[in-house]
A and B are shown apart, each in its own frame.
Chain A
Amino acid sequence: MNPIGSIGTLYPSALARADAPVAAPKIALPSQAGAAAAPTDGFTQMLDGLVGAVDAKQQAASAATRKVLLGESDQLHQSIIAMQEASVAFTMMVEVRNKLVESYQELMRMQV
């Protein structure tokens, strides 16, 4: 499943310029080097990395919660914090997706 990744194959040159502002300064993107090699790779790498990181956070949260549910751990506060962090990570992924969809639609509206 890579619907957003397919944008790169349609408009590579437009996205080569779009790559730089997407790399937000406070998040160290591993794809900075990748963007120099090929713009599409950097983009999909970034998104894959994002999905992987969010998934890892969700797994950690569900593992912590399962431990509390089964009585193996009594660290209630850590389980709550893990769940909140997972929710923040997920919200961020959703917002990135929203912004990408918005910019795609903006591009599609451009008069050629």
Chain B
Amino acid sequence: MNLISGIDVTAGALNAQKTRLDVVAQNIANAQTTRTAAGGPYQRQVVSFESELMRRAGSTAAGPVGNNLQSVRVAAIAPDRTPGQQVYNPQHPDAGADGMVTMPNVNIAYEMVDLITASRAYEANLSVVKNARQMAMKALEIGK
């Protein structure tokens, strides 16, 4: 029973934004990680979205036509290949022969902007669901 309109679309969006928030948190946590299991400094992860078509579950002959609703999903979580900054620090355990350490390519300011954008999108989707539920509750009161 799909009683709240558009809830599949919003569920997909909430999942996608949550994944993005998780990735941003991971980036921020690893902003100083110069040694990973794969060797080398931590590479910033980037989330890319794509829209997916939601199939409407059946449509009556007299009902509205809305077959082009699109939700969003995470297309890929790919590493950002731009090289990180090189810092001169000969005492660092991961310093090279020339005393340079390659830091992760995580820019904290950038990640914070991403965090705020993702949170805002998440809250917007939450208010969509809240309003949809309110509309359904109002519809149930018809005639009472």
Contact = CB atoms under 8 A, between A and B. Distances in A.
Direct contact of A and B (CB under 8 A): yes
Contact of A76 (B3, B58, B60, B143): B3
15 contacts: A68-B1, A70-B1, A72-B57, A73-B58, A73-B63, A74-B2, A74-B57, A75-B63, A75-B64, A77-B139, A77-B142, A80-B139, A80-B143, A81-B143, A84-B143
Interface size class of A (residues with CB under 8 A): 10 to 19
B128 to A, nearest CB: 15
Nearest to A85: B143
Contacts of A76: 3, 136, 139-140
A67 interface: yes
Contacts of A73: 57-60, 63
B143 A71 contact: no
Contacts of B56: 74
Interface residues of B, number: 16
Interface in B1-29: 1-3, 5
Contacts of A84: 142-143
A73 to B, nearest CB: 6
**Chain B interface, >50% SS class:** loop
B59 to A, nearest CB: 7
Interface in A75-93: 75-78, 80-81, 84, 87
A107 interface: no
B143 A75 contact: no
A74 to B, nearest CB: 4
Nearest to B141: A80
A98 to B, nearest CB: 21
A71 B139 contact: no
